[in-house]
Amino acid sequence: MDLTRLKESARLELRRRCLSSLFNFCIAVMGYDDLTEGLHKGVCRFLEEPDRWKQLTLPRGFVKTWIGSIAFSVWVTLPRERGDEFPEGIGMDDKFYGLGQNARILIVSNVVANAHKIINLIRKIYERNRSLQALFPEVIPPNFNKVKWSDSEACISRSEDYTESTFEAGSIGGSTVSRHYDLIIEDDIIYAKKDDLTGKELQPNQDDIDKAIGWHKLASSLLVPGPHTRIHNIGTRWARHDVVDHIRTHEKQYKVLDISATDDGTIDGKPTWPEQYGREVLDRIRSSQGPYMFATQYLNRPMAIEDMLFKPEWLQYYVGQGELPESMRVFTTVDLAGWNESKRKNYGSRAVIITCGWCDRNHMWVLGYDVGRFNPSEVIDIIYKHNRIYEPEKIGVETVYYQKALLHFLRKEMENRGWLHMAPLRTESSVSKDLRIRALQPIASNMAIHCRPEHKDFIDEFCNYVPNDRSVRNDMLDAAAYQLQIARPGEPRAIVRKGKEEYVFRADMDKFLKWAMEGKKGKGFLDQYMPEESGDNFTNEDLEPVADWA
């Protein structure tokens, strides 16, 4: 849209609407046409509000820097003279918005090079943005060569003469001695470093985090005197005890806006920006980054390593059938979690049918599984599929759901498709799902759980599991934990005796020979294996003749 062709009345109206709304400014002037009212309008409104201390957390890629550091900095330094040019709820006597072009803003990043990039992008807006030049010509320097105009600092047209420029770049490792500002924007002051060899991002270590927190604690000393000054902390989560956690725990004066990639902060929640980060995109990112980094940077739920029940390095992998033990006992367990949950209460529970093999060393080998939201007919088909492929000794199903939902359907199917060796799994009310899963920890810590690299769902849950954390999935781990009820690792194998051998008398022959050689009288050796005499014992004379006896 060429704003230079607008009538003066239309230009003034558009100018007014942009001054009173950061969201309108982002769309009309900055050209951020992919912003949505459902997500980004709320972010803009949060930044507009008069609170002095703000903490904004958004996932990676949700344009937090473009809005919070670039657009907001340009927008807040525009001149406002009439009441309808101020944001909603802000009066003409507001000193912060009244500064206009005379505001001094420090943009801080983890390294100064990143802050320089932000200042560079701000400079290009004044140099090239036709919409800004048409609506707000008074802020454009007449000659960029005659003002401070670099990536470290840039000064727009203003009436006051300060030591500080309108926009300045800083870092947590740099020095800003004898300089003071009206607004400090901390933009991702914690960030990942890249491995020199692989190019992969490395999680910030605690020293980097402590350094950022230390800088943040001293940031208020860089503000000019007066109650109008502000600090905005904008970032993505990187660790459990990062700057965001420090602010929320120790600096209660901060107003916080936390927006996850999903509406409820879980991996199964509804995407908050479906136009750009829909379900397919989020699943692809999760698969690429892994469950830990995805939960940290997209769900805003960082997990401390010490809180995780399982360590990723505990999980062992096998590639093909040739790597499986020659002999294993095989069991299938069925977890119908979620069948008794309403949609309102369902936090993503899924039905799981998993088959595992147990070798002589009591190692668990994940052979295959199916996971999803299945109806009874689908569950039965999957059970028969596992029975056909893996031939398990037993198929264990949670007792409650087996009786309530599956037994009626399964019994009819067995009459037509063949009988299955079903075993009920105890679901004691005193034992929570988390407690059942904890039973896998001794096995896992001894490197005794094996799966294939393509078992992505199982690997994700194993590496991502934190007890009592509803943001992580645990359905597959729960189904795997049920294996312990029927596989009984560590117990000796039962000796199967068929036919009459089941009733063959067995005694300790060494003791019998010793008794016979000693020739002791009294109670015979075999008598110790016999029941005590009672008044109910019969003699031959007591038995009535039976004609049918041979």
pLDDT at 418 over 80: yes
Residue (of 103, 10, 120, 29) closest to 71 by Cα position: 29
User: Residue 31 in 3-state DSSP?
Assistant: coil
Bridge-based pairing of strands 351-358 and 329-335 is antiparallel
Topology agreement, domain 3-259 and domain 312-487 = no
Tens of pLDDT, residues 118-148: 999 999 999 999 999 999 999 999 999 999 9
Provide mean pLDDT across the span 155-163: 95
Compute φ and ψ for 419, nearest 5 degrees. Answer: -85, 145
Q: Which residues contact 276 (CB under 8 A, 6 or more apart)?
A: 34, 61
Q: What is the pLDDT of residue 94?
A: 95
Tens of pLDDT, residues 350-369: 889 999 999 999 999 999 99
What is the C-alpha to C-alpha distance for residues 488 and 443, in angstroms, rounded to an integer?
Answer: 12
pLDDT band at 425; cut points 50, 70, 90:
confident
Select the more confidently predicted residue: 307 or 550.
Answer: 307
pLDDT at 65 over 50: yes
Q: Which of 181-195, 467-481, 492-506 has the lowest average pLDDT?
A: 492-506
Q: What is the pLDDT of residue 409?
A: 76
Select the more confidently predicted residue: 151 or 548.
Answer: 151
What is the C-alpha to C-alpha distance for residues 478 and 470, in angstroms, rounded to an integer?
Answer: 14
pLDDT band at 29; cut points 50, 70, 90:
very high
DSSP letter for 526, please: G
Q: Evaluate whether 173 touches 111 at the Cβ level (below 8 Å).
A: yes
Q: Which amino acid is at 422?
A: M
Q: Give the largest CA-CA distance in the chain.
A: 130
Select the more confidently predicted residue: 535 or 18.
Answer: 18
| SS3 track for 162-197 | CCCCCEEEEECCCCCCCCCECEEEEECCCCCEECCC
Q: What is the pLDDT of residue 491?
A: 55
> Long-range contacts for 191-196 (Cβ within 8 Å, ≥24 apart)?
191/109, 191/110, 191/111, 191/114, 191/238, 192/238
Provide mean pLDDT across the span 90-113: 96
Q: Which residues contact 411 (CB under 8 A, 6 or more apart)?
A: none
The residue ranges of every structural domain in the chain are: 3-259, 312-487, 503-538
Token digits of residue 80: 């406002």
Q: What is the pLDDT of residue 547?
A: 38
Choosing among 3.40.50.300, 3.40.630.40, 3.30.70.2190, 3.40.50.1970, the CATH entry for 3-259 is: 3.40.50.300
Does the domain spanning 312-487 belong to CATH 3.30.420.10?
no
pLDDT band at 373; cut points 50, 70, 90:
confident
Provide mean pLDDT across the span 403-417: 74
Q: Evaluate whether 184 touches 169 at the Cβ level (below 8 Å).
A: no
Mean residue pLDDT of the chain comes to 84
